[in-house]
Amino acid sequence: MLNNLNQKIPPTYLKIDQATKESGFTMASDILTCSLLKTLAAAKPAGKFLELGTGTGLSTAWILEGMDKNSTLISFDHDEKFLSIAQQYLGQDERLALVLSDGEDWVKNNLGQKFDYIFADTWHGKYLLLDEVLEMLNPGGLYIVDDMLPQSNWPEGHEEKAINFVKYLESRRDLTLTKQNWATGIIIAVKK
Ligand SMILES: C[S@@+](CC[C@H](N)C(=O)[O-])C[C@H]1O[C@@H](n2cnc3c(N)ncnc32)[C@H](O)[C@@H]1O
């Protein structure tokens, strides 16, 4: 088996990818991760989806592609410039709510919400307010993170944070998880 993609790329992804390159956004999710996000999204029909950290909407486009018509996705980011690219190409999808918000504000204002699928791709829900975001998972809900292998843009001291984050996830009795040494390093956890 080869690692090549061999699957349909969402047409919006190609447009967003072009706009992303022109915008100077450097934190984009890689395409292998995006394809996994799509596959896992298909496992949650009529699901409630949450993405923390929209960026320009690259991963959002793939998650939407995997979701069925009865599912909904909330995705937030604090950067208006990058979020506007997602809005331009994905904003017409009625299943999607794009929110301009700081992560801390969004999480603290939405503690009562429950989700079947969470892609945590910013500080909040990963290195900050982790317990609060894990509490938002329904039983059987998926929690997904990428960038768990050392990345060239990691600031000094980040590797230790990543190691502690993994240890903490492993210590949680309410999560069943798999760590994948693949793409940028993926963890998939399922809430008991
Ligand atoms: C890794 S990128 C997201 C990449 C995106 N999921 C993709 O597929 O390309 C992390 C995002 O978190 C956002 N971010 C950073 N700090 C934030 C904060 N305090 N509140 C909300 N968003 C934040 C950044 O603007 C950036 O778009």
Atom of ligand 1 nearest to the CA of 56: 9
The per-residue pLDDT for range 90-117, each reduced to its tens digit, is: 999 999 999 999 999 999 999 999 999 9
Measured by CA distance, the residue closest to atom 1 of ligand 1 is 27
For residue 1, report the distance from its CA to the centre of ligand 1, in Å. Answer: 33
The per-residue pLDDT for range 60-93, each reduced to its tens digit, is: 999 999 999 999 999 999 999 999 999 999 999 9
Domain boundaries, the chain: 23-191
For residue 74, report the distance from its CA to the centre of ligand 1, in Å. Answer: 14
Which sign does the torsion angle of CA 124, 125, 130, 136 carry? positive
First to last CA, the chain: 32
What is the fold, at CATH topology level, of the domain defined by 23-191? Rossmann fold (3.40.50)
DSSP codes, 119-174: EE-SSBTTTBSHHHHHTTEEEEEEEEE---S--TTPPTTHHHHHHHHHHHHHH-TT
Quote the pTM value: 0.98
For residue 54, report the distance from its CA to the centre of ligand 1, in Å. Answer: 6
